[in-house]
Structure 1
Amino acid sequence: MFHYITAIILGMVEGLTEFLPVSSTGHLILVGDLLNYTGEASKTFEIFIQLGSILAVVVVYWRRFIVLIEGVFSKEKRQGLNFIHVILAMIPAVVIGLIARDAIKAYLFSPTTVLIGLVAGGILMIVAENRKKPNPTTDLDSLTYRQAFVVGLYQVLALWPGFSRSGSTIAGGILAGTSHRVAADFTFIVAVPMMVAASGLDLVKSYKYLSPSDIPFFGVGFITAFIVALVVIKVFLKLISKIKLKPFAYYRFVLAVVFLLYMLVK
């Protein structure tokens, strides 16, 4: 029974933190260690349950994804957000990720680097709030290609574990001149192809650590992550324009202290 409780807890952590600007990696490392669920199998499990969170985004933005897909095959030029925006936002992280993937896996996935990412990401979010533009883009369909590419540049920071994909891209969007809501919407939409590609590649390389007996355990984690992420995304989108990024930045600093204390007493 505790086996499945572990799956539920980690699924909840993934769903709660994947799309909040607080670093899901940092939380999963800390909680996984507390639950004594570590090693290659745990890493494969974390990759798999990310797909549950991704599915939640698809459900929330299904109409937008249909329009994006239709635009790819349509001969008519459509106004508003299109697949070019998404590609521009993906290019920087895809290129750097492919070049540095092995180095990132070898050197950056440690408690110390996650700790650095938590603090640095929090500082970036505070800087973004203090330097936001006076007349931001408030309509997702008014997002420019330049703004999309700038968001993509900031997404590169998310390759550093602990930095947070949503934290870096939302901050990047704000610095590029978008509103908090537009930055969040675009962040979630871009996350789908990015995370599907990254998770798919990692699963292909780590499937050898799986066995048929793991299916129920992985399934519980996947479903839990999906349900929790679905709720979190909807709540976050309603709150982001009101509470902004600073509360999340301060939370990251507190988490970094907890993380540090845990490393010292472990």
Structure 2
Amino acid sequence: MDIIIGFILGVVEGLTEFAPVSSTGHMILVGHLLGFEGTVRASTFEVVIQLGSILAVVFLFWNRILNILGIGRRESHQQSIGRLSVWHIAAGIAPFFACGFFFYDFIKSQLFSTQTVVFTLIAGAVLMVIAEFFKAKSPAAVTLDQITYKQAFAVGLFQCFALAPGFSRAGASLSGGLLVGMNHKTAAEFTFIMAIPIMFAASGKDLWESWGYLTVNDIPLFATGFVTAFFVALIAIKFFLQLINRVKLIPFAIYRVLLAVVFWIFII
């Protein structure tokens, strides 16, 4: 049964972590339907499979990551001017880490509820619709290397909405990217890259605090979920990057509202 649960939840995590539909919401719903919830084991499992998903981003964007860190292919001074750097990433993640630091206890104690998820699913959908209607007609940033520090920081501010479970970090960041002058694909790629330090830090903290609760018997469950999430996320990210420029955010917003209704029926 552990293998089956690990596989199912690994698929759910891999499919939803980087789409603007709230992976947290899906994990809560599917975990509830499977009877796998409310324990340290279940919450630690979610952390482990998130690491599987983020490893897929590292794998797919490996060359870009090396370039950002300045250890990839060398460029001339002229070519390197304006390219995406580690400082753009820092500007993008700073607001999220600052808000998370000051409001961590409040978020963990007050916002992790199914009622919050229903509200944030709908609120995130509204933001995505607003972003589509008010996005720039001629985006200033159509590649990662055209993103400015101001745009990166602004996206980071929007990303803070995702501290509330169910809002979706991808949804908040994508919406923010559109509103500050990025096109869909560039906003998505920037969202994925920003996820690496954020998810490693958040997952690492939670995993460290839960490590003492794990046993050898948990290995099949955790290994299955981790590997499944990694490979499913690889496929999902590639598919999403091809899809987002064609379908935009409105279909995802509609799906979020439908998911909120499902939450209301099955969980609340």
Match of 1:164 in 2: 168
Deviation at 1:258, TM superposition (A): 0.7
**How big is each residue's C-alpha offset from its partner over 1:72-119, in whole Å with a ceiling of 9 and x where there is no partner?**
9x9986321000000000100101101111111111111000111100
Deviation at 1:71, TM superposition (A): 5.9
Residues 71, 83 of structure 1: 8 Å contact kept: no
C-alpha distance in structure 1 between counterparts of 2:6 and 2:253, whole Å? 28
C-alpha distance in structure 2 between counterparts of 1:71 and 1:156, whole Å? 30
C-alpha distance in structure 1 between counterparts of 2:111 and 2:75, whole Å? 44
The question of 1:86 aligning with 2:85 is answered: no
Q: 1:97 aligns with which of 100, 106, 111?
A: 100
Match of 1:22 in 2: 21
In structure 2, runs of 5+ residues without a counterpart are: none
Structure 1 segments (4+ residues) deviating >2 Å: 74-79
Seen in structure 2, the aligned counterparts of structure 1 residues 193 and 76 have a Cα distance that, compared at 3 Å, is farther
Letter of the 1:168 counterpart = A
Residues 93, 198 of structure 2: 8 Å contact kept: yes
Deviation at 1:263, TM superposition (A): 2.5
Q: 1:259 aligns with which of 254, 260, 263?
A: 263
Match of 1:140 in 2: 144
C-alpha distance in structure 1 between counterparts of 2:184 and 2:201, whole Å? 26
Letter of the 1:226 counterpart = F
Residues 120, 167 of structure 2: 8 Å contact kept: yes
Match of 1:129 in 2: 132
Match of 1:209 in 2: 213
Letter of the 2:131 counterpart = A
C-alpha distance in structure 2 between counterparts of 1:126 and 1:155, whole Å? 16
Deviation at 1:208, TM superposition (A): 1.9
Q: 1:151 aligns with which of 150, 155, 159?
A: 155
Residues 49, 229 of structure 2: 8 Å contact kept: yes
For the aligned residue pairs, the C-alpha RMSD in angstroms reads 1.5
Residues 29, 267 of structure 2: 8 Å contact kept: no
Q: TM-score, normalised by structure 1?
A: 0.96
Letter of the 2:99 counterpart = I
The question of 1:115 aligning with 2:118 is answered: yes
In structure 1, runs of 5+ residues without a counterpart are: none
Match of 1:57 in 2: 57
C-alpha distance in structure 1 between counterparts of 2:181 and 2:127, whole Å? 15
Match of 1:48 in 2: 48
Partner SS, residue 69 of structure 2: helix
Partner SS, residue 70 of structure 1: coil
C-alpha distance in structure 2 between counterparts of 1:209 and 1:126, whole Å? 42
C-alpha distance in structure 2 between counterparts of 1:221 and 1:263, whole Å? 23
**How big is each residue's C-alpha offset from its partner over 1:159-202, in whole Å with a ceiling of 9 and x where there is no partner?**
00000000000000000110000000000000001100110011
The question of 1:177 aligning with 2:173 is answered: no
Match of 2:245 in 1: 241
Letter of the 1:86 counterpart = I
Partner SS, residue 134 of structure 1: coil
C-alpha distance in structure 2 between counterparts of 1:230 and 1:191, whole Å? 14
Seen in structure 2, the aligned counterparts of structure 1 residues 184 and 75 have a Cα distance that, compared at 3 Å, is closer
| Identity fraction in percent | 50
Deviation at 1:216, TM superposition (A): 2.0
C-alpha distance in structure 2 between counterparts of 1:190 and 1:170, whole Å? 12
